[in-house]
Amino acid sequence: MSPAAAAPARRSPLALDPAALRYDERGLVPVIVQDVASGAVLMLAYADRQAMERTLATGEAHFFSRSRQAPWRKGETSGNTLAVEEAVADCDGDAVLLRARPAGPTCHRGTRSCFEPNPAALELGWLAAVAASRRGADPGSSYTARLLAAGVERLAQKVGEEAVETVVAALAAAARPERRGELVGESCDLLYHLLVLLLATGVPPADLAAELVRRHHGPPAGAAGKEPVAGAGPAVSGDSAAAGDPAAGADAAGDRSGR
């Protein structure tokens, strides 16, 4: 590779080697920034090797402005910094993905992402991956592991309870707008427990994504009249002994412990 200037890698998720990247003829590499919480793509910028080294050394995203031909630290004027939690190179090392926590709107227009309007406001794949990573964890410290250990029947019952609580919260929120926060909370509980139930029954979240897209785009026979969010009815029978294991995602920190 190139000259040696050991990257000041601080911790393993940021232990990417700037010297090993393949910069283009301008000495730049494209950097995609993803919101580590939602999975949303926030922005695309370019970095030279120095910017990459600064990013890895400080944990804050640094880039190189092609228009100003100058280095810049994201948020240096706006305050909307990007705290980088993970930095990875792509397959052939000529692009970088930063997973980061934005301190505010990432785009100069004041929007969350540079790619707005963006319908991908609610992404759940990351949450499913976190849940999957808890499989086998100590039930004493992981709420998800506890749920999984309790079995499908208990989990299904739990989803039913959360659904009822969501309904109650929705009615309260409809009558009193100041109670919408409760509906948000109950809805999150419901979605989370549903994802864990899917995990327990061996249904990969990708199957839902594919089905929802299929209902939306393409119609084929039998799907007529179905809406993307239309309920499919409870299906927790003794049927599937299927134990397909949705590939566990990368280990993420902090269990979403709920109650």
Write out the H or E segment, with its range, that includes residue 152.
helix 152-175
Which of 58, 42, 57 lies closest to 101 in space, CA to CA? 42
Contact pattern for Zn ion over residues 50 through 89, marking x by CB under 5 A: ----------------------------------------
CA separation (Å) from 112 to 40, 59, 78, 119, 216? 9, 20, 13, 12, 26
Nearer Cβ to Zn ion (9/107): 107
Phi, psi (deg, nearest 5) at residue 134 = -85, -10
Which of 20, 91, 99, 24 lies closest to 59 in space, CA to CA? 99
| Site stretch for Zn ion (CB under 5 A), options 105-113, 137-145, 152-160, 177-185 | 105-113
| Site stretch for Zn ion (CB under 5 A), options 31-39, 102-110, 171-179, 235-243 | 102-110
Residue 142, both tokens: 């992981």
Q: Which of 9, 32, 41, 114 binds Zn ion (CB under 5 A)?
A: 114
| Site stretch for Zn ion (CB under 5 A), options 73-81, 109-117, 128-136, 210-218 | 109-117
Strand order in the sheet with 96-102: 41-47, 29-35, 96-102, 82-89
Nearer Cβ to Zn ion (19/114): 114
| Site stretch for Zn ion (CB under 5 A), options 72-80, 88-96, 107-115, 161-169 | 107-115
User: Could you give the CA distance from residue 110 to residue 132 in angstroms, rounded to a whole number?
Assistant: 34
Do residues 197 and 155 touch, judged by C-beta distance below 8 A?
A: yes
Nearer Cβ to Zn ion (103/114): 114
**Judged by CB under 5 A, does residue 107 bind Zn ion?**
yes
Residue 248, both tokens: 């566990």
Least CB distance from residue 107 to Zn ion, whole Å? Answer: 3
> Tokens 């911790």 correspond to what residue?
11
| Site stretch for Zn ion (CB under 5 A), options 9-17, 65-73, 88-96, 100-108 | 100-108
Write out the H or E segment, with its range, that includes residue 130.
helix 125-133
Nearer Cβ to Zn ion (97/107): 107
User: Could you give the CA distance from residue 64 to residue 62 in angstroms, rounded to a whole number?
Assistant: 7
Nearer Cβ to Zn ion (118/240): 118
Contact pattern for Zn ion over residues 1 through 40, marking x by CB under 5 A: ----------------------------------------
Nearer Cβ to Zn ion (98/159): 98
How many CA atoms does the CB half-sphere of 170 hold within 13 Å?
9
Nearer Cβ to Zn ion (32/114): 114
Least CB distance from residue 75 to Zn ion, whole Å? Answer: 13
Least CB distance from residue 117 to Zn ion, whole Å? Answer: 13
Q: How many residues at the interface with Zn ion, by CB under 5 A?
A: 2
Residues in the site for Zn ion, rule: CB under 5 A?
107, 114
